[in-house]
Amino acid sequence: MPTPHDLEGLRVVAHPLRLKLLSLLTAESLSAAEAARVLGESQANVSYHLRRLAQAGLVQLVEEARVRGGVAKRYRHDPASGEALASGDADEHRALMSALAAELVQRSARYEPGAPIVFTDAEVRLPAEAWQRVRDLGRELGRLLHDEAVAAGTPGAVRVAATVTLFPVAPGPAAPASEAPPSSDPGAE
């Protein structure tokens, strides 16, 4: 079986449909045909991307069921599998962050007006022990989201979006001058 690094590391998930499949396959196991119906995509397209995720070890075959003379292979996402993809390659990291950002923009368009939101954004320096704790809490949040996820249509369920990524930042300025917002303080230069 190929390792995640054989499949371009983080790039295997740096695709919007693959991110949607991972979210969908968190709450329930589905075949390519079932996932295609839910996502409004062609079965061939979903099947291709599902195979790539399976080859990378991000989804596991959990059931084979007879369907109209064929066999439907149902897959489920293992939320802990993503950490195996961390190759340390800067281009792969940027590709994944771009895909996550694009997915976040799409999800934010479906925000339920008036609903509460939990938000934080930070680029800070932490002691090594605090950084380890923050990473552990991020993993715990991921496990909780995946462990508690229920199938679409479950009565009383709240559909939520979550995008969390935690990573160390290389030493240097917070952003290149061309990306830094202009200062409103004339004496700041």
Give pLDDT tens digits for 102-119.
889 999 999 999 999 998
- Write the pLDDT tens digit of every residue in 159-180: 999 988 888 988 877 655 455 4
Q: Which two tokens stand for residue 132?
A: 């380890």
Q: 3-class SS at 131?
A: helix
Does domain 10-148 sit in CATH 3.40.50.300? no
d(CA 31, CA 43): 9
Q: Output the pLDDT for position 171.
A: 83
Is beta strand 59-67 parallel, antiparallel or unpaired with respect to 70-77? antiparallel
Tell me what the mean pLDDT of segment 127-151 comes to.
92
pLDDT at 6 > cutoff 80: no
Q: Do 107 and 115 touch, CB atoms closer than 8 A?
A: no
Instruction: Using the CB atoms, write b or e for 82-93: b if 16+ within 10 Å.
Output: beebeeeeeebb
DSSP one-letter string for 4-70:
GGGGTGGGGG-SHHHHHHHHHHHHS-B-HHHHHHHHT--HHHHHHHHHHHHHTTSEEEEEEEEETTE
Residue type, 8: E
Q: How is residue 98 written in tokens?
A: 């771009």
The structure tokens listed for 115 are 């609903």
3-class secondary-structure state, position 161 = coil
Q: Sign of the CA dihedral 7, 11, 17, 23?
A: positive
Domain segments of the chain as ranges: 10-148
Here the tokens at position 178 are: 């061309």
- Average pLDDT over the chain reads 83
Mean pLDDT, rounded, for 25-33: 90
Residue 33 CB-density burial (10 A; 0-12 exposed, 13-18 middle, 19+ buried)? middle
CA 165, chain centre distance (Å): 9
pLDDT of amino acid 21: 92
- pTM of this prediction exceeds 0.85: no
